[in-house]
Amino acid sequence: MKSTTLTGKGSTKIDALLKRSLKKTRETLDILDKLNVIGAALSTETNIDKMLEMILEMAQDAMKADGGTLYRLTPEQTLKFAIIQNKTLKIKMGGTSGNAITLAEIPLSIEGKPNHSAIAAHCAITRQPVNVSDAYTKKGFDFSGAKSFDAKMGYRTSSVLATPIIGHDGTLLGVLQLVNCLNEQGSIEPFSASAQKMAASLSSQAGIALSNRLLIIQLYDLFEGLTNLINTAIDEKSPYTGGHCKRVPELTLMLAEAAHNESTGPLASFQMTDKDRYELKIAGMLHDCGKITTPVHVVDKGTKLETIFDRIELISMRFELARKDIQARYHSACKTNPEASDQLKMALVNDMRRVDEDLNFLRNCNIGGERMQEDDISRVKQIAQQTWLDREGKAQPLITENELQNLTIVAGTLTQDERKIINSHIVSTISLLEKMPWPEHLKNVTEYAGGHHERMDGKGYPKGLTRDQMSLQARMMGIADIFEALTAVDRPYKKGMPLTQSLAIMNRMKNEGHIDPDLFDVFIKHNIPNEYAKRHLALAQIDIN
Q: What is the pLDDT of residues 134-143, one digit of tens each?
A: 999 888 899 9
- Cα–Cα distance between 37 and 48 in angstroms, integer? 18
- Split at pLDDT 50, 70, 90, the class of 420 is confident
Top pLDDT among 286 and 415 is at: 286
**Residue 88 φ/ψ, nearest 5 degrees:** -60, -45
Query: What mean pLDDT comes out for the span 383-401?
Result: 88
Residue 13 clears pLDDT 80, i.e. is over it = no
Length of the chain: 545
- Split at pLDDT 50, 70, 90, the class of 229 is confident
Query: What mean pLDDT comes out for the span 290-298?
Result: 77
Query: What mean pLDDT comes out for the span 21-27?
Result: 64
Residue 210 clears pLDDT 60, i.e. is over it = yes
Surface-to-core class of residue 393, CB atoms within 10 Å of its CB (0-12 exposed, 13-18 middle, 19+ buried): exposed
Q: What is the pLDDT of residues 507-518, one digit of tens each?
A: 999 999 999 999
Supply the pLDDT for residue 443: 95
Supply the pLDDT for residue 36: 62
Supply the pLDDT for residue 234: 76
The pTM assigned to this predicted structure is 0.65
User: Pairing relation of β-strands 160-166 and 130-132?
Assistant: antiparallel
Mean pLDDT of the chain: 87
Q: What is the 3-state secondary structure (H, E, C) of 36-80?
A: HHHHHHHHHCCCHHHHHHHHHHHHHHHHCEEEEEEEEECCCCEEE
**Residue 527 φ/ψ, nearest 5 degrees:** 60, 35
- Split at pLDDT 50, 70, 90, the class of 149 is confident
* Every domain of the chain and the residues it spans: 23-216, 238-289+424-541, 312-413
With contact defined as beta carbons under 8 Å apart, do 66 and 179 qualify?
yes
- Split at pLDDT 50, 70, 90, the class of 301 is confident
Supply the pLDDT for residue 1: 47
Supply the pLDDT for residue 259: 97
Residues 6+ apart with CB under 8 A from 277: 253, 256
Residue 38 clears pLDDT 70, i.e. is over it = no
**3-state SS class at 180:** strand
Supply the pLDDT for residue 20: 67
Residue 98 clears pLDDT 60, i.e. is over it = yes
- Minimum mean pLDDT among 159-168, 391-400, 474-483, 517-526: which range? 391-400
Query: What mean pLDDT comes out for the span 22-38?
Result: 61
Percent of the chain with pLDDT over 70: 90
Query: What mean pLDDT comes out for the span 170-184?
Result: 94
Between 3.30.450.40, 3.40.50.720, 3.40.50.620, 2.102.10.10, what CATH number should domain 23-216 receive? Answer: 3.30.450.40
- Cis ω before 107 (30° cut-off from 0): no
Between 1.10.3210.10, 3.20.20.60, 2.60.40.420, 1.10.1370.30, what CATH number should domain 238-289+424-541 receive? Answer: 1.10.3210.10
Q: What is the pLDDT of residues 483-514, one digit of tens each?
A: 998 998 876 656 789 999 999 999 999 999 99
